[in-house]
Amino acid sequence: ADALGCGVGLVCAGAGAFGAGMCGPAELRRAFGSDDLNVAIPDDGEVTVTLDTFGLASVHTDVVIDLHVSHPRTEDLQVVLTNSSGTEVVVADGLPGREIYLTGVALAGFPGDEDANGRWTLTLRDTVAGESGTLYGFSLELTSRWD
């Protein structure tokens, strides 16, 4: 059982949107993406990577990201995730260091009434000339519910 005591075949969802969270069928949570990418982030440019999500209920309750980016100056980067309804959430903007390495980070900012299924887009912008970087991994774990 998880923190809510949901039990076998169930997952906790919506803790941020619904306060204490709720239990739902485990089949309404799916992972999409890859940790085996090698996508160049152009110097003073941008690159987008898309994930097509499917097999979920109608709306998402939880959006969890895994992300691995290498760049000599990660403070030059802005990373934005756009859901299939067009809502954008800033994942990282001006973080110091040489890598952005997020594992299992729940993202806030997506309303709980937009489509879970469809095309999600990650945009990486290098906002300062002088260095380029690489996206090595990007995945999402979405939990959904019927609306």
Task: Report the chain (147 residues): mean pLDDT per 10 consecutive residues.
Answer: 70 63 86 96 97 94 96 98 97 97 95 93 98 98 90
pTM of the model: 0.90
User: Which residues have C-beta within 8 Å of that of residue 56, sequence separation ≥ 6?
Assistant: 28, 30, 116, 117, 142, 144
User: Which residues have C-beta within 8 Å of that of residue 42, sequence separation ≥ 6?
Assistant: 126, 132
CA gap 127, 138 in Å, rounded: 20
Residue 82 pLDDT: 98
Residue 24 pLDDT: 84
Residue 3 pLDDT: 56
Backbone φ and ψ of 106, nearest 5°: -75, 130
Residue 1 pLDDT: 44
Pair 103, 114: CB distance under 8 Å: no
Residue 7 pLDDT: 82
